[in-house]
Structure 1
Amino acid sequence: MASQTPPPLLLLLLVGWSSASLQETRKPNFVLMMVDDLGIGDLGCYGNTSLRTPNIDRLALEGVRLTQHIAAASLCTPSRAAFLTGRYPIRSGMSGSSRPGVFLFTAASGGLPPTELTFAKIAKQQGYQTALIGKWHLGLNCGSSEDHCHHPHAHGFSFFFGVPLTNLRDCQPGHGTVFRIHRYLPYGTFVVVLLSAAALHYSGALPLRRGLLLGLLVLVLVLAGLTAGFVWTGPYLNCVLFRDRSIVEQPFRSENLTQRMTREAVVFMERNAARPFLLFFSFLQVHTAMFASAAFRGTSRHGVYGDAVHEVDWSVGQIMQTLGRLGLRDNTLVYLSSDQGAHLEELSAAGEVHRGSNGIYKAGKSTSWEGGIRVPGILSWSGRIPAGVEISEPVSNMDLFPTVVRLSGAAVPKDRWGLPERSRTFRKVEQQHTRPERLCLTCRVIDGHDLMDLLQGREERSRHEFLFHYCNSYLNAVRWHPRNSSSVWKAFFFTPNFYPEGQAACFHTHVCFCTPDYVTHHDPPLLFDLSRDPSESRPLTADTEPAFRSVVAAMTEAAESHRTSVQPVESQFSAEKLMWKPWLQPCCSSFRQLCQCQQEPERA
């Protein structure tokens, strides 16, 4: 019996149904963009009128703009660790107890522990092609210069084009060094004391043995020589550009680097257009030392900082155009943020102020004032997230972890309980255990929450009742959004000595520190209602706020409960893990050649 050919209309219906079904079942792509040190007040969609950011503004119009999007830390390294893992950085040992609080050497042995799970690692297990382009700043090696135990490859990124550290001043000729003299004040004090002793000795007022004095002088000369030598060789040691595990440029040249990174991102998306991918584009801009490609220099009213913001916006536009050209816009979740607020205290080598804008919010990078942790948060997904929506609920950059994990088709690992599950479990065993919090020593808490219900309007309130703000490893503030209230309370247990007049420690050292000499403790805590005072300009008291005592009591209790959930782990910021180790130094040539290699050919 002869076969019958289906009528043309039926074929069209079958093809259309198959295409629609494929579109519905295909996993979404992720394009996650993080700008370094960008202030919330630097973007037009957040109120800036003096910089041009049309591509980022368009992204906000096409999606959701978060106005209370909080970074889990106010410094690069811990904030990025929290973003990738969905956990406060103290849980993974990625917060230091003293300065600097970030990695300053490529040849340090600290880094994001291999036991931590990133959303990239889980997405890769779900069949995603994963890439990190740009800044990493979460460690490189452990025991040798090639073990790459902290490399992006070890944390789920199949492709890496970028720098393992950050954009230091040392990486650009004429911009000075990040190892400024104030970091060596102990050595300076020692030199002053030694020279004073020598003067007194030769004047006869303080007799010293000639051998001892000579030995001290030699020690000072050696220390001075090592310090000067390290500063001179810094660019060759710390300014390294990688492609996967291979060094392609050392020291790297920042000029055109954003354009090169953008081309890499475009090529990655083109090569993986037919399969699900996750791209984390991590800008080196607008971190000091400032740079901008020739096409953008002189285009803003705010010097090289504004030029760099313009170049970032251009790059975002190129990425979005590529998604549109490849027909992927309807199947891609796009996210743009900053790792912390703009750095306000930084000065160029010539004394110029290179700072962004944190809008109405107080202070900036390295503080838990709103200017240090309230960052841009834009999410867009055509057809899945409504356009032109503003959400003012408190959310965190840690929320991207469970959001990406669940959209990729995976579940948050069962050995990492979220706080609601932990509370239910604890309630079951409270009667049998006098210290139920000890049970958490066997669990790994996920602090982030899936954002999709909030973004799509199925929920009106954030799942974060409390958020905890750290200054390095010290819990210094708590944010509380009560379930039955529109208030957003914020209580400080201590604050950095920040004053806009430039007379306090933050301006003297070019960054705010968390150590006792640089902070003021508050008992009772310093309390603000951010819903009425987002600029944190009017601290409340028992006389001005009737609920002061009950609010402070609830937040103090929440802080203590949070502390009990933090299990002790090895710090990745111990002196031993932060120090430079020559056997860990990545080098594309011999040390005698100062670890130099030429720029790789740019893509056509």
Structure 2
Amino acid sequence: MFRSVAWIALLAGGFAAAAQAAPKKPNVLIILADDLGYADLSVQGCKQFKTPNIDRIFNEGVRFTQGYVANSVCAPSRAGLLTGRMGSSFGFESNLNHDLSSKPGSTVGLPLDQKTIADVLKAVGYENYCIGKWHLGDNQKLFHPLKRGFDAFCGLISGSRSYWALEKHDPIKTLMVDYGYMDEGQVEDFYVTDVLTDKAIHYLETRQKDQPFFMYLSYTAPHGPLEAKDDVLERLDYDFKNPKRKIYAGMVVNMDDNVGRVLNCLDDLGISENTLIVFLSDNGGPTDKNSSSNWPLRGMKGQLFEGGVRVPFGVCWKGTIPPGQVNNEPVISLDLLPTFAAISGADKKTTIETDGLNLMPLLMQRTGSLPGRTFYWRRGEKTQVAIREGKFKYHQNRRKGEEFLWNIEDDIGEKNNLVKEHPELASRMRAQYEKWETTLPPLGVGIGAPAPDEGKKSQKRK
């Protein structure tokens, strides 16, 4: 399953070291931000506001400077993260078409034959909690988190909602607790990010103490609508010229406050040293909508420039992963499932289907690099494609007839198009991408391919 004998040896050494530091199966916590800009943490260089709690995760472990996600929009990125597989491999390349996914009996969502991290860890005794944004299918009979390996759920089925209590019930936006709905109007000082954290802490404090847990804490912040708490806005001392940017900053700072509450809870419970924590965003910031910043990257959410698919990416495991690391090796959200399978022993119990790699040898500094591999991305009814191999990235916008080639290591901002300078390389990478495409299944209707009538409209637009 791993790619070389040398890599297997490194893995074995990494497991042995981890086992000495943490004899019990480690807990796993993913904290996922929504539409966070690449530059919008102080550990990532932000000077306008501070995020000391999120910074802790990066500083107490590894900050990856080239951390990627599976797609540049919410749903397919989450599908990739939770399955460890590129969504293209099972036809999931776009956000859900809610006109289709919300219909009774809809089959639009994360395909049922795809195992999630929760499925993998449940098989080796983990209690699994899903908190926050789901966005992987509206039909609760098929796609509810409790049907996909999780044991408890508090969150919203859809992709976004107001941060304040909803005045009118909405079946995919009102917060659920398992299969029931929260009476949001009865919650004092209701603010979604705070409420989700309250529930996360409740689960941590009331869990079975002798059972390892996996918690997927999927905040909606700082995805729109732009709504921040007044008391947080009053704490911001930067002179924001853009009022939208100030509200966005307030949402990020509030999320940081809540991350701090979770980290402090782990400390108070005495389980920090047996908990691996990952923080990342689902995609790059939509700079035109929420005033996020992806500097120095080009592009934004929805695009396959670096600003769409490169995100803040930090991993820590106190007492096991050496702290203070800054690692420039390209990694991707798909690597999380095989990493968790390795540290939990799940990979010894079953074959793990994944497009990712176990990161433990890298995290433990037993190797300085991962085996060579290629990243592929595709979205937007196959109109945007990209491939990253080594230091080079090839990108094609088929709708506009544009193609690009960059040396990403020297040109992080994707400013110098090398297609004319290196036509042979561009041609080879294009051919390599097209060969990969021949291995993919058809796009799923509503998660990649349009409904038949939408296809006709799309053709007319062209």
Range of TM-score over shorter length: 0.7 to 0.9
Alignment of 1:412-431 (within 5 A): none
Aligned to 2:412: 534
Preserved CA contact (<8 Å) 1:172 1:289: no
SS at match of 2:182: strand
In the alignment, what sits opposite 2:362? Answer: 454
The answer on whether the counterparts of 1:286 and 1:308 sit within 8 Å (CA) in structure 2 is yes
Shift of 1:553: 3.6
DSSP 3-state at the match of 2:257: helix
Matches within 5 A, 1:198-209: none
Alpha-carbon deviation of 1:332? 0.6
Q: 1:318 to 1:464 in 2, by over 3 A?
A: farther
Aligned position for 1:509: none
1:274-353 aligned within 5 A? 274-300=210-236, 301=238, 302-346=245-289
1:438 matched residue in structure 2: none
Give distance in 2, aligned partners of 1:45 and 1:256.
Answer: 26
Structure 1 position 572, deviation (Å)? 4.2
Conserved 8 A contact 1:93-1:572: no
> Which secondary structure does the structure 2 equivalent of 1:336 belong to?
strand
The offset of 1:561, in angstroms, is: 3.2
| Number of the residue aligned with 1:492 | 395
| Counterpart among 159, 167, 170 of residue 160 in structure 2 | 167
Letter of the 1:521 counterpart: G
Residues 57 and 278, structure 2, Cα contact 8 Å, conserved in 1:
no
The one-letter amino acid paired with 1:526 is: F
- Once residues 454 and 334 of structure 1 are traced to their aligned partners in structure 2, the CA distance between those partners, rounded to angstroms, is 15
Equivalenced residue count is: 422
Give the secondary-structure state (helix, strand or coil) at the position aligned to 1:41. Answer: coil
How far 1:95 sits from its partner (Å)? 1.9
Q: Which residue of 1 aligns with 2:193?
A: 258
Gaps of 5+ in 2: 1-17, 239-244, 455-462
Q: What amino acid does structure 2 have at the position aligned with 1:534? A: I
Aligned residue number for residue 431 of structure 2 = 557
Q: 1:151 to 1:464 in 2, by over 3 A?
A: farther
- Confirm or deny: 8 A CA contact 1:118 1:155 kept in the other structure: yes
Q: CA deviation at 1:526?
A: 1.3
Which of residues 116, 132, 143 in structure 2 aligns to 1:150?
143
CA distance in 2, matches of 1:378, 1:393: 13
Which is greater in Rg?
Answer: 1
Question: Deviation at 1:88?
Answer: 1.0
- CA-CA distance at 1:24 after TM superposition: 4.0
Whether the aligned pair in 1 keeps the contact of 2:60 and 2:323 (CA below 8 Å) is yes
Distance 1:416 1:29, change over 3 A: closer
| Cα distance change of structure 1 residues 171 and 268 upon mapping to structure 2, 3 Å threshold | closer
Verify the 8 A CA contact 1:120 1:278 in the aligned structure 2: yes
Does 2:371 align with 1:476?
Answer: no
**1:401–1:448 Cα contact (<8 Å) kept:** yes
| CA distance in 2 between partners of 1:333 and 1:377 (Å) | 14
What's the C-alpha RMSD, in Å, of the aligned pairs? 2.9
Residues 577/323 of structure 1: CA separation in 2 closer, same or farther (3 Å cut): farther
Distance 1:566 1:38 in 2: 30
Q: Does the 8 Å contact 2:163/2:192 carry over to 1?
A: no
Residue 357 of structure 1: CA displacement?
0.9
Distance 2:287 2:350 in 1: 41
Out of 93, 113, 118, the position equivalent to 2:116 is: 118
**Counterpart in the other structure of 1:102:** 96
Shift of 1:79: 0.3
Aligned-pair CA distance for 1:557: 3.4
CA distance in 2, matches of 1:455, 1:280: 21
Change (3 A) 1:416 1:382: closer
- The TM-score with structure 2 as length reference comes to 0.84
CA contact (8 A) 2:34 2:222 kept: yes
Letter in 1 for 2:32: M
Aligned equivalent of 1:247: 181
Asked if the contact 2:419–2:426 (Cα under 8 Å) also holds between the matched residues in 1, the reply is: no
Q: Structure 1, residues 48-69: CA drift from partner, whole Å, max 9, x if none?
A: 1111101111221111000100
CA distance in 2, matches of 1:255, 1:91: 40
Gaps of 5+ in 1: 1-19, 142-146, 174-232, 347-353, 418-445, 482-487, 496-515, 580-604
> How many Å apart are 1:169 and its aligned residue?
6.2
Instruction: State the shift of 1:576 in Å.
Output: 5.4
Matched with 1:367 is 303
For the residues of structure 2 that align with 1:309 and 1:405, how far apart are their CA atoms?
Answer: 31
CA–CA distance in structure 1, aligned partners of residues 129 and 36 of structure 2:
22
Partner of 2:4: none
Deviations 1:256-283 (A, max 9, x none): 2211111111111122243200111000
| TM-score (normalizing by structure 1) | 0.65
Q: Matched residues in 1 for 2:190 and 2:223: separation?
A: 14
2:54 match: secondary structure: helix
**3-state SS, counterpart of residue 359 of structure 1:** coil
Report whether the alignment pairs 1:408 with 2:344. Answer: yes
| Identical pairs, percent | 30
Assess if the C-alpha contact under 8 Å between 1:120 and 1:157 holds in 2: yes
Residue matched to 1:566: 440
Offset of 1:412 from its aligned partner?
7.9
How many Å separate the matches in 1 of 2:257 and 2:325? 23
